[in-house]
Amino acid sequence: MSNNDREKEIMNILEKKYSIRVKELAEMLYASEATIRRDIVKLEKQQLVIRSYGKIMANKLPPDSQIALSAREQLVYNIKRNLAETAATLVHDGAIIMLDASSTVSHLIKYLEKFKDIIVITCSIKTAYMLSQTNIKFICTGGEAINGSYSLVGENGINCVKKYNADICFVSCHGLSEDGLATDTSASENEIRYALIERSRQKVLLLDSTKINKSFWHNLCDISVFDTVICNEPLPEKIMARTKQFILS
C-alpha cells in the first residue's frame, strides 16, 4: 500500500471511529507502528488529525491556519473543561452525584470542590483517584476493570449503583448519531452508564461538538432521556427539537 493510500485509509477509519491507538492502526493496515507514526505526522501537518493521550482522532474543529497544532490539541482539552465548568452550575450543596468514566466528566472534579456535603459515586478508577486528592466524600462502584480506559464495569458495579439514589448524574458518550442516539464503542461501559442514568433524578449529557453526527455500534439511549444536554455548539435542529433543555458552554 502506498503512503497516500495508507493516509487515506487512516482518515477513512477515523470517520468510523472517534479515536484509535497507533498499535490498532498498524494491525489494521498491516504496517509497522513506526510507519503509521510517520503517516500521522504528515496528517498532523495538514491539520487533519489530532493526537491526544496516546490516541489520534480526526480533526473536526474549524480549520484555522493561525492556530498551532499544539494549541489545537489544547483547544479540545479546553472545550471539555468548559463543558464541565458549565455542568457544575447544576450542582448544589448536599447533592448526591453520579459520574461515569469519561474523560470529559472527570473535568468536573475541580469544580465540585467548592460545594459542601456532596457525595460522588463513580465507576471510574481515574476519577476515584482524582477525588481521593480532594476533601470530597466519594464511593467507587467496584467491578471488573477495563485496562486502558480506567472504567469499572460488570454486574458487581451495576449492583453497587442500584443501591443508591442520586440527585444528578453526568455522563458522556463517543458519538451522537444523526437520529439523536447517544452511542459508544463499549457495551459494558454503556450498561453501567445506563445504570447511573436510571438511579439519578436529573440526567445530564456532556458532549463536545466533535461527537455530533457520529454513530458507534452500541446505543446508550435517545437524546430525549436526558434532562439537560451541554455542548460547545448548537445541536442539529431535528435533534434539538427532542432535547428537553440545552445549555451552550
Domain residue ranges in the chain:
3-59, 75-248
Q: Which CATH code is given to the segment(s) 75-248?
A: 3.40.50.1360
**Cα 65 from Cα 46, distance rounded (Å):** 10
Q: Which helix (H) or strand (E) holds 83?
A: helix 69-87
What pTM was estimated for this model as a whole?
Answer: 0.73
CB 203, CB 227: distance < 8 Å: yes
DSSP 225: G
- Residue 101 CB burial class (10 angstroms; 0-12, 13-18, ≥19): buried
Q: Which CATH code is given to the segment(s) 3-59?
A: 1.10.10.10
Q: Could you identify the residue written with the cell 476533601?
A: 135
Per-residue confidence of the chain (249 residues) as pLDDT tens digits?
777 888 888 888 887 766 788 888 889 999 998 898 898 888 887 778 877 656 787 776 554 444 444 444 455 778 899 999 999 999 999 999 999 999 899 999 999 999 999 999 999 999 999 999 999 999 999 999 988 778 999 999 999 999 999 999 999 998 999 999 999 988 999 999 999 999 999 999 999 988 898 888 999 999 999 999 999 889 999 999 999 999 998
Q: What are the E-state strand segments in the chain?
A: 19-21, 49-52, 55-58, 96-99, 119-122, 137-140, 144-146, 151-153, 166-171, 175-176, 181-184, 200-207, 218-222, 228-231, 246-248
- What local confidence, expressed as pLDDT, does residue 66 receive? 42
